[in-house]
Structure 1
Amino acid sequence: MAITSRAPAPAGGAGGTAAGPPAGPPGPGTAWAEGVERLRAAATTEPGRLRIIGALVAGLVLLFGAVTVWEVADRVGSAEDVVGRSQPLSADAASIYRSLADADTASSSGFLAGADEPRGVRQRYEKDMAGASRLLVSAAANAGEDAASRRQITLLGEQLPRYTGLIEQARATNRQGLPLGGAYLRYANEQMSTQLLPAAQRLYEAETGRLYEDYDNARSLPLASLGAGILALAALAWAQHRNYRRTNRVFNRGLVAATAATLVALLWLAAGHAVARSSLAEARAEGQESLKVLTDARIAALQARANENLTLIARGAVLADDNRSDKYDVDFAANMKDLDAGLEKALRLADDGKGREPVASAADAVRQWKQRHAAARETDLRGDYQAALPQVIGGKDHKDSSGAAFDTVDASLERALAHEQAEFTRAARSGLGAFGGLVTGSAALAVAGAAAVLLGIGRRLSEYR
């Protein structure tokens, strides 16, 4: 008997149709939907709700800590810049300005002395030039990407050698007894007045502007941190109230501990910023503002002295805009007016005896200076140049010169500046110190608070097991 073989039927059944491919993995979005569904299901039970509440409250406490660390670190960085970078750079820019003005004064004083130029006057000029050059190098290294400062530094670097060259030419010609030396000195003074000092002023204003930006940033309120802290405390209060309503238990130790940690961090943040803002405001109002006023007053005194010297050197060769008055004598009067206004303002800003005493001494010396200048000017206008000269530059037989009064003004203003600089440094460092430990402390308190929340919620969850 023959045996016949039959091919197996297709898997599709009697119709012979092939079955479709097996189902693949869940499509996109399925895992998210499943997670949402599980969360919704968990929220229908008390243990699930407790877990969600614990996670949210702990997250808010950690958010408060993170925002606080970020904002406080930014304020600390700005306060450190005020103390260690922007204020010193502003002070250096002011020193460049002062050194240039003082060098111009010293050069004119030495020129008046002629071949008998005092060695001290020459050394003062050389010291000023060396100091200005050194500070320019430092300013260039610290200017960074500040285009305004770099432009002024470049201009000063280009013009300074030209000025010193003119001064040396004036000295050499003056030693030979040639009148052309006075022309060289006047041209050098014009370059100083129209190129170097305005550039130094703009550099000082740019650096002071950077200082004020750091001030404002260091003193700005940490609104995000304060808001996050209040939100975290509100969430903790709500969680404890909910726990009390459902269990009649007044305290949950974990939530109480978290509340205490968050409250301490918030109060520390508020108090630290309040002290820092107060100290930095004091540094700006009673330190930096006084420094600026005193610096401007000292520059006015230096320029007045240079113009007083140039009045004798030019002897009417350069006229003011009215084409009748001596230009340098007119400029001297304007400088003295600025000096009087600056000293009056400095006296108002001085907040203690040590600050007022040198300013008052400078004001007294200014009054003497004006009297002696008027006497010397009257002598010169009578045509007695040889008698007027010692009244301005002093000498063995003429100690009560206008130059001696200027030296008293300059020395007094230098003492006042040193005092205000010390006051600024003290107040600014106090402001920086108010932030001490706040970054690390707020981070530690936030972590401890979040952990306490989880422990407190965990204690409640254990009651359902």
Structure 2
Amino acid sequence: MTYPPNVRTAPVPAPTHAPAQSAPPPAPPPARQGAWAEIRERLRAAATTEPGRLQIIGAVLALLVVVFGAVTAFQVADRASAAQDVVGRSQPLSADAANIYRSLADADTAAASGFLAGAQEPETVQKRYRDDIDTASRLLIKAATNTDSDSDSGRQIATLNEQLPRYTGLIERARANNRQGLPLGGAYLRYANQQMTKEILPAAEKLYASETARLDQDTDSARVWPFLALGAGVAALGLLAWAQRRNYERTNRVFNHGLLAATAASTVVVLWLAVGHTVARADLDNATAHGQASLKVLNDARISSLKARANENLTLVARGAVLTKDGKSDQYETDYLSNMKALGTTLEDARKLADDEEGSQPVGQARTAATEWQKRHKSANDTDKAGDYVGALEKVVGDKDSTGESFDQVDKALAKAIDHEQKEFTDSAEGGRDALTGLAIGAVVLALLGAVGAILGINRRLSEYR
């Protein structure tokens, strides 16, 4: 058998060319820009073309007109609400607070007058006292329902509700002792008067001051000019005028109906806002100057006359038992003179503030009656000093030619003047409130119409590029 020779395996020949290299890895995708960057790029691209510019102008115009309407509606609604508060809340509460004070002071005067009349008080005096207490109680309930209990007014109302039953209880004790002819009745009456003058009336006066301050605050809020709304309106009109001029320069077309409608709507709102607020402000100024100012002075005059009458009566009740701190003068007589001086000053102020015959006439009647009151008081005081107590009593609480008659004339004249000034205030304040009626809603409607007009006007131009 033949075997093949043992040969080594031949080496593999080297390749005649280099091996192919692998392909490079793909480049990473470009980093994405942020959302705001993309928006800026789009706006930049749009701003380079006329259609893009028109779209931006249309959006800005519509937005500015809508903002103008919204700001106008907000500011007008705020001022209209304040004007409504003046008419429907603040001023009525201020008037009620003044009537609370007057009723309480008059009740104290009636109680002293009834005491001086003797054991059998006249029915008219008793009725006057009861009516005053009922009026004060009713008005306190009304004020409490419209006042926050945590406010200063609420605290004063709580004090009055707490002290008034104590006062009426002292008056009833004074009456009971007086009917029995006991001198203790005079002490109870003086103590009741001290409670009235030192606790009840000061609380009523603070209530009146607090409600009057709230009235002034609401009036000031209603009178503030809506500068933000007026500024937005001027800006909207300026931009609309610029857009129409730009449109004219590029197309030679004088009018763009949409932009013209937007301009007309915005102009109406601006004029309505300016005129309406001017009228409202003028009426509220008149209500303050010729109504509230006169009411305050007249209420002060009425309060002074009530205090003077109460002190005059108590002069005869105490008969010199209560002296001034220096011990030289009768306290009640001194207070009477001080109150009459204040009455004269406030009546002179009321005369100067009265702006028509209907307002000045009752003030003049009050001044005449006050002068006669002082003459009669001097006569009664001289009679009392001469030792004729009964004669002095007749000159103070008598039915004819007495100081009580003069006091009633003063009070009646002041009540007439107050009613007149109250009517003037209400008419002017309601005029100020009504001047703003419908303006807020009208501003919103016209602003929306203006925005639609601006968009339609711009779209009309854009259609020319399609």
Q: Give the TM-score normalised by structure 1.
A: 0.93
- Residue 144 of structure 1: aligned partner: 148
Which of 386, 391, 394 is the equivalent residue of 1:387?
391
Displacement after TM superposition at 1:53 (Å):
0.4
User: How far, CA to CA, are the matches of 1:146 and 1:300 in structure 2?
Assistant: 30
User: How far, CA to CA, are the matches of 1:144 and 1:180 in structure 2?
Assistant: 41
Structure 1 residues 121-140: aligned runs within 5 Å = 121-140=125-144
Structure 1 residues 146-225: aligned runs within 5 Å = 147-225=151-229
The alignment status of 1:246 with 2:267, answered yes or no, reads: no
Alpha-carbon spacing, 1:54–1:314, altered in 2? closer, same or farther (3 Å): same
User: How far, CA to CA, are the matches of 1:435 and 1:144 in structure 2?
Assistant: 28
Displacement after TM superposition at 1:240 (Å):
1.2
User: How far, CA to CA, are the matches of 1:300 and 1:91 in structure 2?
Assistant: 17
User: How far, CA to CA, are the matches of 2:60 and 2:81 in structure 1?
Assistant: 31
Letter in structure 1 aligned against 2:210: A
The alignment status of 1:100 with 2:104, answered yes or no, reads: yes
User: How far, CA to CA, are the matches of 1:381 and 1:138 in structure 2?
Assistant: 46
- Residue 84 of structure 2: aligned partner: 80
Which of 81, 87, 95 is the equivalent residue of 1:91?
95
User: How far, CA to CA, are the matches of 1:209 and 1:370 in structure 2?
Assistant: 34
- Residue 274 of structure 2: aligned partner: 270
Letter in structure 2 aligned against 1:434: A
Q: Deviations over 1:258-294 (max 9, x none)?
A: 1111111101100000000000011111111111111
- Residue 9 of structure 1: aligned partner: none
Displacement after TM superposition at 1:145 (Å):
5.6
- Residue 255 of structure 1: aligned partner: 259
Displacement after TM superposition at 1:34 (Å):
2.0
Structure 1 residues 348-359: aligned runs within 5 Å = 348-359=352-363
User: How far, CA to CA, are the matches of 1:374 and 1:65 in structure 2?
Assistant: 68
Letter in structure 1 aligned against 2:420: H
Letter in structure 1 aligned against 2:185: G
- Residue 46 of structure 2: aligned partner: 42
- Residue 369 of structure 1: aligned partner: 373
User: How far, CA to CA, are the matches of 1:146 and 1:293 in structure 2?
Assistant: 29
User: How far, CA to CA, are the matches of 1:23 and 1:191 in structure 2?
Assistant: 92
User: How far, CA to CA, are the matches of 2:148 and 2:161 in structure 1?
Assistant: 17
Letter in structure 2 aligned against 1:422: K
Displacement after TM superposition at 1:146 (Å):
5.0
Alpha-carbon spacing, 1:238–1:381, altered in 2? closer, same or farther (3 Å): same
Q: Deviations over 1:205-237 (max 9, x none)?
A: 111111111000000000100000001011111
User: How far, CA to CA, are the matches of 2:241 and 2:372 in structure 1?
Assistant: 72
User: How far, CA to CA, are the matches of 2:293 and 2:165 in structure 1?
Assistant: 33
Displacement after TM superposition at 1:402 (Å):
0.7
Displacement after TM superposition at 1:142 (Å):
1.1
Displacement after TM superposition at 1:250 (Å):
2.1
Identity of aligned residues (%): 62
- Residue 464 of structure 1: aligned partner: 465
Q: Which moved more, 1:137-146 or 1:126-135?
A: 137-146
Q: Secondary structure at the match of 2:117?
A: helix
User: How far, CA to CA, are the matches of 1:331 and 1:380 in structure 2?
Assistant: 18
Q: Secondary structure at the match of 1:435?
A: coil
Alpha-carbon spacing, 1:230–1:146, altered in 2? closer, same or farther (3 Å): farther
Q: Which moved more, 1:137-146 or 1:96-105?
A: 137-146
Displacement after TM superposition at 1:33 (Å):
2.4
User: How far, CA to CA, are the matches of 1:145 and 1:266 in structure 2?
Assistant: 42
Displacement after TM superposition at 1:373 (Å):
0.5
Q: Deviations over 1:423-461 (max 9, x none)?
A: 111000100110021111111111111111111111111
Total equivalences in the alignment: 446
Structure 1 residues 272-351: aligned runs within 5 Å = 272-351=276-355
Displacement after TM superposition at 1:137 (Å):
1.5
User: How far, CA to CA, are the matches of 1:400 and 1:34 in structure 2?
Assistant: 96
Q: Which moved more, 1:110-119 or 1:371-380?
A: 110-119
Between structure 1 and structure 2, the one with the greater Rg is 2
- Residue 441 of structure 1: aligned partner: 442
Displacement after TM superposition at 1:96 (Å):
0.8
User: How far, CA to CA, are the matches of 1:40 and 1:133 in structure 2?
Assistant: 74
- Residue 71 of structure 1: aligned partner: 75
- Residue 420 of structure 2: aligned partner: 419
Letter in structure 2 aligned against 1:459: R
- Residue 410 of structure 2: aligned partner: 409
Displacement after TM superposition at 1:172 (Å):
0.6
Unaligned segments of structure 1, at least 5 residues:
1-13
The answer as to whether partners of 2:149 and 2:155 remain within 8 angstroms in 1 is no
Q: Secondary structure at the match of 2:387?
A: coil
Displacement after TM superposition at 1:171 (Å):
0.6
Letter in structure 2 aligned against 1:61: V
The answer as to whether partners of 2:265 and 2:446 remain within 8 angstroms in 1 is yes
Q: Which moved more, 1:259-268 or 1:272-281?
A: 259-268
User: How far, CA to CA, are the matches of 1:258 and 1:159 in structure 2?
Assistant: 64
Letter in structure 2 aligned against 1:181: G
Displacement after TM superposition at 1:378 (Å):
0.2
Letter in structure 2 aligned against 1:386: V
Q: Secondary structure at the match of 2:455?
A: helix
Q: Deviations over 1:291-331 (max 9, x none)?
A: 11111110110110000000011111100123111100000
Q: Which moved more, 1:325-334 or 1:31-40?
A: 31-40
User: How far, CA to CA, are the matches of 2:35 and 2:156 in structure 1?
Assistant: 63
User: How far, CA to CA, are the matches of 2:330 and 2:318 in structure 1?
Assistant: 9
